[in-house]
Homo-oligomer: A and B are copies of this chain.
Amino acid sequence: MNRPDGRALDVHRPVEMILGFHRNAEGSVLYRAGRTVVLCTASVEPTVPAWMMGKGAGWLTAEYQMHPRSSPARREPRDGRGKAPSGRTQEIQRLIGRALRAAIDLKHLGEQTIAIDCDVLEADGGTRTASITAGFVALALALDRMRAAGSLEAPVLRDQVAAISVGHLPGGLALDLVYTEDSSARVDMNVVATAVGSIVEVQATAEDEAIPRAELDRMTDLALAGVASLASAQHRALSSAGVDLSALFQTDRWRVA
Contact = CB atoms under 8 A, between A and B. Distances in A.
Interface of A: 22-25, 35, 37, 39, 41, 43, 45, 63, 65, 67-72, 74-75, 78-81, 84-85, 87-88, 90-91, 93-94, 98, 102, 115, 117, 119, 121-122, 158-159, 187, 193-194, 197-213, 215-217, 220, 224
Nearest to A119: B67
Nearest to A75: B43
Contacts of A119: 67, 119
14 contacts: A22-B69, A24-B71, A24-B122, A25-B69, A41-B67, A43-B69, A43-B75, A63-B81, A78-B80, A80-B84, A87-B87, A98-B205, A201-B204, A217-B217
A122 B22 CA distance: 7
A89 B133 CA distance: 26
A217 B79 CA distance: 38
Contact of A204 (B202, B206, B212): B202
A203 B91 CA distance: 13
Contacts of A45: 74-75
Contacts of A37: 23
Q: Is the interface of A mostly helix, strand, loop or mixed?
A: mixed
Q: Sorted from nearest, which 9 A-B pairs have the closest CB atoms?
A: A80-B80, A198-B210, A87-B90, A43-B75, A202-B204, A24-B72, A25-B69, A200-B210, A43-B69
B209 A158 contact: yes
Contact of A213 (B102, B206, B220): B220
A91 B98 CA distance: 14
A65 B41 contact: no
Looking at A90, A159, A224, which has the most chain B CB atoms within 10 Å of its CB? A90
Given A87-B93, A98-B205, A200-B206, 18 more contacts: A22-B69, A23-B122, A24-B70, A25-B69, A41-B67, A45-B75, A67-B119, A78-B117, A87-B91, A90-B90, A102-B208, A119-B119, A187-B199, A199-B216, A201-B204, A202-B204, A216-B220, A217-B217
B206 A201 contact: yes
A43 B22 contact: no
A220 B207 CA distance: 19
Nearest to A26: B69
Nearest to A68: B117
